Amino acid sequence: MEGLAVVVVGSIILGLVFWAGLWVYERLSGSIAARLPSSWRWVALPITVVLCGGGFALLRPLIVDQPTTPMWFVLGTTAVALLFASATAFGWTMVEVGRRIVELSYREPPSDDVP
């Protein structure tokens, strides 16, 4: 029974960390996109990837090989949330790149019958 409780609590904590990462992703990409002109909105997701990945890289040395304290737990949770946000933004960036490649491959070539 104790093992089941550990699994349930671990799943809840992991779900909260993923929710925090998704929240960071939505807030950051939304605020970046709101500040950009419409023709530059495509840059919002790559900027989100760089910022979240940079935040994770900055927090990582503060977590690795440090004593376990409440601050260590908070920094670790924040770092994993940033890593999740970065991975989500990168994934959606790749979806957009794939969509644009498909659009380019299905364009009709210009016709030579121009009068």
pLDDT tens for 64-112 read 888 888 888 888 888 889 999 999 899 999 998 898 888 888 877 666 6
CA distance 47 to 56: 14
Structure-model confidence comparison of residues 88 and 1, the more confident one: 88
Distance CA 85, CA 21 (A): 5
- Please tell me the number of Cα atoms within 13 Å of 70 on its side-chain side: 0
Provide the 3-class DSSP secondary structure of residue 87: helix
Q: Are 14 and 55 in contact (CB under 8 A)?
A: no
77: exposed, middle or buried (Cβ count in 10 Å: 0-12, 13-18, 19+): middle
- Residue 20 Cα distances to 29, 54, 61, angstroms: 14, 17, 21
The reported pTM is 0.75
Cβ pair 50, 30 in contact under 8 A: no
- pLDDT tens digit string along 15-73? 988 898 889 988 988 999 899 888 888 888 899 999 999 999 998 888 888 888 888 88
User: What DSSP state is assigned to residue 94?
Assistant: H
Query: What is residue 39's DSSP assignment?
Result: G
